[in-house]
Amino acid sequence: MKSNLHITLVGGQKEPVYQGIVYDNPDYVIFITSDQTKGDAELIASATSVPFELKTLPAVNIIEVEKYLDSLKTIIDNYKNITINITSGTKIWNIWFFDYFKNIEKAKIIYIDQNNNVWDLKAKQYSDHEFITDILQYLYRFGSKVKNFKKIEDFDARDIEAVKEIEEIRKFDFGEFNALTQSISKNSNLIEYSTKQGSFIKYDSKEKSFYLKLVKKNGTFKESQLNSPNIRYLLLNYGWFEFKVAQILSKWKLAKEIILNCEFQTKEGAPKNEVDIIVNTGKKLLFVECKTQVFSTTDIDKFASVIRNFGGLGSKGIFITEAKLNKNALEKCNDNKLLSFSLNESNYIQNPEKMLYIKLEHEWLKINPK
């Protein structure tokens, strides 16, 4: 007699299907799919390397579901233990598979919630697990491919010092700083640029350094020579702020892995969407959008869409800004079930970093609405 058979329903939620297989460590898997989820099952199967078969059933045809369940008796008799994962799949499947297996003694029925708690529905108890060991592998199981990204380990002390220098010179004249850096970022072939006011920027590709001179309207000026391994990323397109936030999050006790500047791609290979930071806590992912300030609330809608498309139901999202969010932006975050946090609120009772950790931990185990 064979040891362990795993039967899993495959619906809109793909990750708990994979998690159930990892948890159960079976000898053989039967994926119950619809025509729409057959491809998802094949993708999950390729990530587990466990022998399997696919059974396609209609989503709501009770008679066909009952026929298949009756046909399982011969297969069930060949296994010592059986586990049925009803987390995914259609409601009809959930009900009929539970009802069929609830009185079979050797059958274990499991449900995995968004916090990676594996519930034994017959025993009415659960155990918690950490299933996410690698962000890229997790995303791949969703059919999401990251084309480009940076690991926080790719940055060093020189980058940290460069961020401090960037923040310092930026404060001297925000308008001139933005005019210089945005002109270079919009044209990758441009190595120098000057404003009507006399401010100037020049990039030395050999030395990986930028020379900046900011000139105020009254003629006073400030100069800086910026040099670090990731200086182009840090200086242009607000990379300095993303890295600053990533550094803060790297000290969060739940953070196990952090990647930045994550560029997702289409099946054709073209860039699709970009996420500033993704944090892996072992149980779920935190998607982070970093803005010095929010100019358009459509950015919030777009970010929420990216999380839904790439992160799965259990992932969390947070908008982190330098400036305080206005009322409209806060409402838009709430509408999209996103957390929000400003590093420069005036009423924090502790430093901003600790307040951010407190906010995240308060929300972390809350179940996202479907």
Is the per-residue pLDDT at 141 higher than 80? Answer: no
Co-location of 98 and 125 in the same domain: yes
Which residues in 245-279 are b (16+ Cβ under 10 Å) and which e?
bbbbbeebebbbbbbbbbebeeeeeeebbbbbbbb
pLDDT band at 269 (very low <50, low <70, confident <90, very high): low
**213 DSSP β-pair partners:** 200, 223
pLDDT band at 346 (very low <50, low <70, confident <90, very high): low
User: What pLDDT, on the 0 to 100 scale, is given for residue 139?
Assistant: 87
Provide the number of structural domains found in the chain.
Answer: 3
Residue 140 lies in a domain: no
User: What pLDDT, on the 0 to 100 scale, is given for residue 312?
Assistant: 78
pLDDT band at 71 (very low <50, low <70, confident <90, very high): very high
Residue 218 lies in a domain: yes
Co-location of 13 and 100 in the same domain: yes
Co-location of 224 and 254 in the same domain: no
Residue 14 lies in a domain: yes
Residue 40 lies in a domain: yes
Is the per-residue pLDDT at 70 higher than 80? Answer: yes
Is the per-residue pLDDT at 194 higher than 90? Answer: yes
pLDDT band at 160 (very low <50, low <70, confident <90, very high): very high
Q: Can you give the residue range of the structural domain that contains 218?
A: 160-229
Please write down the HEC assignment for all residues of the chain. CEEEEEEEECCCCCHHHHHHHHHHCCCEEEEEECCCCHHHHHHHHHHHCCCEEEEECCCCCHHHHHHHHHHCHHHHHCEEEEEEECCCCCHHHHHHHHHHHCCCCCEEEEEECCCCEEEECCCCEEEECCCCCCHHHHHHHCCCCEEEEEEHHHCCHHHHHHHHHHHHHHHHCHHHHHHHHHHHHHCCCCCEEECCCCCEEEEECCCCEEEEEEECCCCCEEEEEEECCCHHHHHCCCHHHHHHHHHHHHCCCCCCEEEEEEEEECCCCCEEEEEEEEEECCCCEEEEEEECCCCCCHHHHHHHHHHHHHCCCCCEEEEEECCCCCHHHHHHHHHCCCEEEECCCCCCCCCHHHHHHHHHHHHHCCCCCC
pLDDT tens-digit series, residues 347-360: 767 799 999 999 99
Co-location of 273 and 210 in the same domain: no
Residue 75 lies in a domain: yes
Residue type, 169: I
CATH number for 296: 3.40.1350.10
Residue 33 lies in a domain: yes
CATH number for 44: 3.40.50.10770
Co-location of 150 and 277 in the same domain: yes
User: What pLDDT, on the 0 to 100 scale, is given for residue 367?
Assistant: 76
199/14 Cα distance (integer angstroms): 52
User: What pLDDT, on the 0 to 100 scale, is given for residue 364?
Assistant: 86
